Structure 1
């Protein structure tokens, strides 16, 4: 059972179900007109808290900084939609539908408080005196992280032509003639006087030879950089206005 003194601790704090799953954040606590004790809590659920569900808190418990209710998250999300009027009340029909959804004996609860109950049940906390509370909706914008694409590294082989200039050498025949001198006369007259002869010289030449060898040149990896951009979100919020109907001067004089 949640007391009225614990209401500030409940508001804007998480609400968990029987399995320890977070249902949402508590936004309003509604009091029973007859007992003036907390009877319902409204919880923001859905994406960015766009839906508001009502949960009975007669059997709820406050644990540290959150509220635990004896219902599953799916049960709460499937609760009937309730449109609370400007005075912060649940109609009898709306409360009946909520009791039925949560399996609470409506007749027993009604008879128990019939002698004390006044029209309009489930008054929001904070409206027990003669002052009127004016409320406004606040838009809370959150962000969700989603996958927008994937990047991958792929290695493949291409063949390119490369050119490189290298010096190559080759041998050419050059005829040298030298006159007979005393130094070479013996070598020149060593053979027959008149005869036929051949002399062969082997010529050599260099040619380019290529050879390839794989060498590591760099390492490549994928990294991500996070950038922050400003994006404008537009939404609609409701606010209450209070006007006073006052008697005019003629009415005052007639009285």
Structure 2
């Protein structure tokens, strides 16, 4: 422990501390930085959906029953004693005939309401990018054979 003054061990370490100074803080330490991906989302307009109404014509065929009147002659003999007396003359009578015919009437009726709605669908997308990171290695001038990363972790404590 140092008590305000320098002892011999501290004086020997001083050149190494100055040599390792990177301008990032104290002379005997470095700060290592890594790039990180910060992934978020932003909303953007990707298109428009439109409703468009057009008019088209189609032929529709349907069947409808129709009736009409036809004339037939019915002859009935008159029995004696029915009390009909008459004279021979010319005469005429008529019957009005009726027939149905199809009548088409067009009308416009509502059949369906159509609207656009949006629905949010969430899916997972993979995002890839490159990041940079710093690596700090320890050079041991004594050459004790330890790899760079391991030496950095086991270097002399100050």
Q: Is TM (by shorter chain) over 0.5?
A: yes
Equivalent in the alignment of 1:14: none
Write out the 4+ residue segments of structure 1 that deviate beyond 4 Å after TM superposition. Answer: none
TM-score norm. by structure 1 comes to 0.43
1:217 aligns with 2:111: yes
Unaligned 5+ runs, structure 2 = 1-21, 145-158
In 1, the alpha carbon distance for the partners of 2:60 and 2:32 equals 81
Higher Cα Rg, which structure: 2
Matched residue count = 122
In structure 2, which of residues 65, 80, 92 is the aligned counterpart of residue 198 of structure 1? 92
Which residue does the alignment assign to 1:80?
none
Matches for 1:83-102 after TM superposition, within 5 Å: 87=22
Partner residue of 1:154 out of 47, 52, 60: 52
Closer, same or farther: CA 184–155 of 1 in aligned 2, 3 Å: farther
Per-residue deviation, residues 226-247 of structure 1 (Å, max 9, x unmatched): 1122222221101111111111
The root-mean-square deviation of aligned C-alpha atoms, in Å, is: 2.1
Give how far 1:155 is off.
1.7
Q: Could you say if the C-alpha distance between residues 191 and 150 of structure 1 is closer, same or farther in structure 2, counting changes exceeding 3 Å?
A: farther
Cα deviation code 1:97-127 (max 9, x no counterpart): xxxxxxxxxxxxxxxxxxxxxxxxxx55xx3
Instruction: Work out the CA distance in 2 between the residues paired with 1:210 and 1:183.
Output: 55
Paired with 2:67 and 2:114, the residues of 1 have a C-alpha distance of 43
Take 1:237 and 1:173, find their aligned partners in 2: how far apart are those partners?
102
Greater fraction of residues in helix: 1
Q: Using a 3 Å threshold, how does the CA distance of structure 1 residues 191 and 147 change in structure 2: closer, same or farther?
A: farther
Distance, in Å, in 1 between the alignment partners of 2:51 and 2:38 is 40
Give the counterpart of 1:248 among 139, 143, 146: 143
